[in-house]
Amino acid sequence: MTATAPRIDTVFDLDALLTEEEREWQQRARRFAQERIAPVIEEDFEAKHFRREFVRELGELGFLGMHLEGYGCAGAGAVSYGLVCLELEAADSGWRTFVSVQGSLAMSAIHKYGSEEQKQRWLPGMAAGELIGCFALTEPQGGSDPAAMTTTARRDGDGWVLDGAKRWIGLASLADVAVVWARVDDPTGAHGDGGSAVRGFLVPTSTPGFTATPIDGKLSMRASVQCDVTLEGVRLDADALLPGASGLSGPFGCLNEARYGIVWGAMGAARACLEAALERATTREVFGRPIGANQLIQAKLADMFVEVEKGILLALHLGRLKERGALTPPQISAGKLNSVREALAIAHEARAILAGDGITNAWPVMRHAANLESVRTYEGTDEIHQLVLGRALTGLNAF
Ligand code: TGC
């Protein structure tokens, strides 16, 4: 009986489907994840510590806003970006989340909807990891229905005044700039808004009236920071408005980017859990032989492996569609729903294979399982994505 655990990503030879450049991005991210994040993540998770110094390193590696063109961004393809998400999340969902919030949400919003001046002011520093951005959409009453937002922006001379509250805003207490989505009431249409519209604002976090407070008591994503944000009479100049976004399609356009990263990232967490289970199965002996020699364990491992490989193939398919400009929101919903659901199931199975030790931080599995509970909920819950798919299939809106 041999106990050779193959590298699981060689079994399907997914590498054969990637370009040289994509493999290089993946290797660069894998090295960072294994050499920088992995050695400290259990300690950081325990201590609720966000390692700020990694932000510049991520910038130097080109990962921040890497799918964007110009302004110091790498202009990489969607698959390269996905592979980076996968490798970072194999270490911890918190670090993939950081890259998502910075690149897919805050930088994407500025890149898609900002004026040339706004892009020049913020994007190069954010790409380099010198500046941090956050994305303030969700409000305390719930995240699933952004149309119900109550944060307002009202005209004040040439400028604006923002009032309201946001919740679960990643990195807000560390951020230099917040992309804040607020409702502008303009019934006369005098400012070109044509009634009530959701608009985006770039708020330097040093602006009086902006307060971000880290949310305590989290048992998930403990090595990253999510905040409550209050906006009390936050006065902004006219040029704080993102000119290119009007209506909810603005923030949803950014959520599409972040959800796409999750499709890949969650499979990284799943792969890490499978690797842990494989290691345990081939080294732990019970009844005089490795537990992996038992059919029941092998069946679990095989099922976990099939779901990891299927999930990565789906992510790759969506990535190729994205590179052709053909990726649709229901396709992203299918990917996010599948990846996170399967990753959670894999984490739970891996925990069972690890038995009692699986609940300790000697293994990464319980941390991944706890993190994935957040990933399951943010950027659209399972149920929201099921309903997006239900609408695409039936033509009937169940919201
Ligand atoms: P509806 O109000 O009818 O449509 C509004 C407008 O938005 C457009 N739209 C989209 N555009 C691009 N991509 C998408 N995925 C889009 N989904 C909708 C839509 O076409 C319409 O455009 P227009 O021009 O006609 O006005 O909304 P809906 O019925 O289409 O959508 C309903 C629903 C439930 C799917 C949507 O509200 C939804 O996706 N809800 C979930 C929102 C969500 O994901 N919230 C969590 C955000 S996570 C977060 O805020 C934390 S940031 C991360 C961090 O900081 O850590």
| Options 3.40.50.150, 1.10.645.10, 2.40.420.20, 2.40.110.10; CATH of 133-247 | 2.40.110.10
pLDDT confidence of 196, banded at 50, 70, 90? confident
Tell the residue nearest (CA) to atom 49 of ligand 1: 138
Kindly tell me if the per-residue pLDDT of 2 is higher than 90.
no
- DSSP annotation of 355 reads G
Kindly tell me if the per-residue pLDDT of 187 is higher than 60.
no
pLDDT given for residue 345 in this prediction = 98
- Mean pLDDT across the chain: 95
Q: How far is the CA of 144 from the centre of ligand 1 (A)?
A: 8
Residue written as token pair 């994407």: 108
195-204/210-214 β-pairing: unpaired
pLDDT given for residue 391 in this prediction = 97
Q: How many CA atoms lie within 13 A of 363 on its CB side?
A: 25
Question: Residues 236, 162: contact at Cβ < 8 Å?
Answer: yes
pLDDT given for residue 298 in this prediction = 97
Q: How far is the CA of 134 from the centre of ligand 1 (A)?
A: 18
Question: Residues 370, 273: contact at Cβ < 8 Å?
Answer: no
pLDDT given for residue 12 in this prediction = 79
Q: Which residues line ligand 1 (CB under 6 A)?
A: 97, 101, 105, 135, 137-138, 143-147, 168-170, 226, 247-249, 252-253, 255-256, 329, 378-380, 384, 388, 399
Q: How far is the CA of 93 from the centre of ligand 1 (A)?
A: 23
Tell the residue nearest (CA) to atom 4 of ligand 1: 248
* Tokens found for residue 73: 């961004």
Q: Distance (Å, rounded) from C-alpha 149 to C-alpha 141?
A: 9
| Closest approach atom of ligand 1 to CA 384 | 34
Question: Residues 147, 184: contact at Cβ < 8 Å?
Answer: no
Q: How far is the CA of 321 from the centre of ligand 1 (A)?
A: 20
Active-site position among 22, 257, 349, 379: 379
Kindly tell me if the per-residue pLDDT of 104 is higher than 90.
yes
Tell the residue nearest (CA) to atom 21 of ligand 1: 249
Question: Residues 164, 148: contact at Cβ < 8 Å?
Answer: no
Mean pLDDT confidence for 187-194: 52
- The 10s digit of each residue's pLDDT in 9-32 is 667 788 999 999 999 999 999 999
User: Where in the sequence of the chain do the CATH 1.10.540.10 domains occur?
Assistant: 5-127
pLDDT given for residue 4 in this prediction = 47
CATH number of the domain at 5-127, please?
Answer: 1.10.540.10
pLDDT given for residue 164 in this prediction = 98
Q: Distance (Å, rounded) from C-alpha 303 to C-alpha 314?
A: 16
120, 16, 138: which is closest to 71 by C-alpha? Answer: 120
Tell the residue nearest (CA) to atom 56 of ligand 1: 170
Tell the residue nearest (CA) to atom 2 of ligand 1: 147
- The 10s digit of each residue's pLDDT in 66-77 is 999 999 999 999
* N residues, the chain: 399
Q: How far is the CA of 252 from the centre of ligand 1 (A)?
A: 4
| Closest approach atom of ligand 1 to CA 145 | 37
Q: Look up 379 and say whether it is catalytic.
A: yes
- The 10s digit of each residue's pLDDT in 151-179 is 999 999 999 999 999 999 999 999 999 99
| Closest approach atom of ligand 1 to CA 332 | 15
pLDDT given for residue 340 in this prediction = 98
Residue from 198, 228, 255, 259 to probe ligand 1 pocket by mutation (most atoms less than 8 Å from CB) = 255
Tell the residue nearest (CA) to atom 22 of ligand 1: 249
pLDDT given for residue 303 in this prediction = 97
CATH number of the domain at 250-394, please?
Answer: 1.20.140.10
Q: How far is the CA of 329 from the centre of ligand 1 (A)?
A: 10
- The 10s digit of each residue's pLDDT in 78-96 is 999 999 999 999 999 999 9
